[in-house]
Chain A
Amino acid sequence: SQTIHQWPATLVQPVGSPLSLECTVEGTSNPNLYWYRQAAGRGLQLLFYSVGIGQISSEVPQNLSASRPQDRQFILSSKKLLLSDSGFYLCAWSQPTRGGETQYFGPGTRLLVL
């Protein structure tokens, strides 16, 4: 069966510090991978998605970046965090899709920037 892991579960970082969040998927190959952010009490906002190694699409301009160094690994990074980067970060995967595929979400990382 497929599983998705995210770490760390929670993170408190000072403004201006770097960020690296990792997501890995097991039990499937060539998945689509997604990074979302959820602000407190809000819906999910898609940040990045990837259909293959080294292929990253960005949906929202920001100081974040994403990389996919391996088929089932997706990393979210920042060189300098802002206060507005605080939120709940969720990674998800799906089968390659043109629509109608289920996305499976990880447990999330709660980031607080102080």
Chain B
Amino acid sequence: SQELEQSPQSLIVQEGKNLTINCTSSKTLYGLYWYKQKYGEGLIFLMMLQKGGEEKSHEKITAKLDEKKQQSSLHITASQPSHAGIYLCGAEGSSGTYKYIFGTGTRLKVLA
């Protein structure tokens, strides 16, 4: 079965610093979704990547999909305390499937 591994598992950065979170799949990636979860709350959809080499940005967050490496990265520029939370990557198991497989998450803390 497919697995998603996220790294690092946790991250503490000073406000204003850049950071990168990686998500590596054990199998081919057909669709990759990034979510943010605050403790005790639901998942907020951030971005969807579907094609190799695709890159999307929203405000200070950029996500890329490297199909060959079966990997996606999430980059935050000039981090702020509001970026703190758990970042989860989710993937479709095979082309078009609805059964998302999730990584165990990266806990981000931003120090003011």
Q: Do A and B come from one complex?
A: no
A residues sitting closer than 8 Å to B (CB atoms) are none
